[in-house]
Amino acid sequence: SSELTQDPAVSVALGQTVRITCQGDSLRIYYASWYQQKPGQAPVLVIYGKNNRPSGIPDRFSGSSSGNTGSLTITGTQAEDEADYYCNSRDSSDNVVFGGGTKVTVL
Amino acid sequence: QVQLQQWGAGLLKPSETLSLTCAVYGGSFSGYYWSWIRQPPGKGLEWIGEINDSGSTNYNPSLKSRVTISVDTSKNQFSLKLSSVTAADTAVYYCARGAQDFTMVVVVITAASYYFDSWGQGTLVTVSS
């Protein structure tokens, strides 16, 4: 399968921890990469590889992987973390695939 | 710090050809995959296709018959053409730099990662008669 599946929406209280998951067969080989997208803006890479953050991304963002599932965890969620989050990888045909996105609401 | 700047026509009529170009500033052109990605209004991200610095392409099977991605390494630019557009092609189009890493044990790939670390600003393309 070339699909990546994400929950459409999650909510989290300010300062709490939220985990977003991404499921797909390709994730048995590929680590999921994660992007944050705020309204009207281009996506921004927040996690790649086993658990790597690009320069400038706060350390409250972390990634993990188990079986066919990749996860993005935000620890101590801030108001500015409210956004859409997308995962991606390559599939078995070498095509690039994205998950459907998860809308994170900070309460 | 690499920067991607894109441009192209924002309003098309059905059956016309969409044409966008992305210029890469401040980074190496080689060793990366140069992609086009689109996002219809209110929807998620869809990968259109990619090209590397040697000109090898890879397209989304659902768009392959209408897509051409080309590269001009002398200008550090790559371009997208999407033919026979319809209203369903209305979207924000992004160019992006893709990077791929492998973890290997002897000759076996045990893990991999593919990610877009730089994005263009996006171009809204509207198809309307």
- Work out the number of other CB atoms within 10 angstroms of the CB of residue A29: 18
Q: What's the pLDDT score for residue A1?
A: 46
CB-CB under 8 Å, A98 with B116 = no
Report phi then psi at A29, rounded to 5.
Answer: -110, -45
Q: What is the CA radius of gyration of chain B?
A: 15
* pLDDT tens for each residue of A75-106: 999 999 999 999 999 999 999 999 999 999 99
For residue B114, the chain A residues in CB contact (below 8 A) are: 30, 33, 88-90, 96
User: What DSSP assignment string belongs to B19-71?
Assistant: EEEEEEESS-STTSEEEEEEE-TTS--EEEEEEETT--EEE-TTTGGGEEEEE
Instruction: Mutation target for B interface from A96, A98, A102: give the one with most B CBs within 10 A.
Output: A96
Dihedral angle, C-alpha A49, A52, A57, A59, nearest 10 °: 130
* pLDDT tens for each residue of B34-83: 999 999 999 999 999 999 988 999 999 999 999 999 999 899 999 999 99
Task: Select the residue of A90, A95, A98 nearest B45 (Cβ to Cβ).
Answer: A98
* pLDDT tens for each residue of A57-78: 999 999 999 999 999 999 999 9
**How many inter-chain contacts (A to B, CB under 8 Å) are there?**
72
Alpha-carbon distance B96 to B13, whole Å? 26
Q: What is the mean pLDDT of chain A?
A: 96
Weakest mean pLDDT among A4-13, A89-98, B105-114: B105-114
Placement of tokens 């001009």 in the chain: B72
Q: What's the pLDDT score for residue B105?
A: 80
For residue A93, the chain B residues in CB contact (below 8 A) are: 61
Residue A9 contacts B where some CB pair is shorter than 8 Å: no
Q: What's the pLDDT band for A2 if we cut at 50, 70, 90?
A: low
Residue B112 per-residue DSSP state: E
